[in-house]
Amino acid sequence: MEYKKSGNVYVVLLEKGDKIIEKLTEFCAKKKIKSGYFSGIGGASEIEVAYYDTREKKYHSKAFGSPPFEIVSLTGNVSLSGWKIKIHSHVVFSDSKFRVFGGHLNEAAVSPMCEIIFTPLKAKLKRKKDEATGLFFLDL
C-alpha cells in the first residue's frame, strides 16, 4: 500500500494481493482517521460480497473466485463502532463476459491494483444498532 496526501485528500494505491478492507482499516489507524469517505477503481480477485435480508436480519454472502475482476465502482465510508474503526463499503465488479455483480464488500484481494481517493471528515462518525433492522446505522 502506498499513499500520497493532496490538500485534505489522500490518494491510496493498493497493490496486488492487498486485502481492500484490511488495508483501508490499517491506513485509517495509521493516519488516526476516525471518519471519512472513499471511492475507487481497479481490479480484484477472491471477492466476497454480501446482501442483507431485512426480513431475516442477516447477511447472505457469496464468494467470487480467482479470475481477475474489474472493480467498476468501490465506494464507502469510515466510522467508529465502539472504539473500533469500521469500514462500510459496497462494490460493483465485472467479469470477462461483461457481467456485473455487486453488494456489500466483505473483502477482496487486489489484482493487479486498486486506486482509491480517500477524504477524511472532521466530524467523528459513530455507529449505533438499529433494533428494527439489526443493522448498525450512522448515529448523527
CATH second-level architecture of 2-122? Answer: 2-Layer Sandwich (3.30)
Q: What is the pLDDT of residue 7?
A: 97
pLDDT band at 68 (very low <50, low <70, confident <90, very high): confident
Mean pLDDT, rounded, for 84-95: 97
Q: Cell match 495509521: residue?
A: 30
Which range, of 24-28, 38-42, 67-71, 104-108, averages the lowest pLDDT?
67-71
- Label residue 65 by pLDDT band (50, 70, 90): confident
pLDDT score recorded for residue 60: 98
Instruction: Report the pLDDT averaged over residues 62-72.
Output: 91
The closest alpha carbon to 43, from 58, 57, 64, belongs to: 64
Where do the structural domains in the chain lie, given as residue ranges? Answer: 2-122
pLDDT in tens, 98-139: 999 999 999 999 999 999 999 999 999 999 999 999 999 999
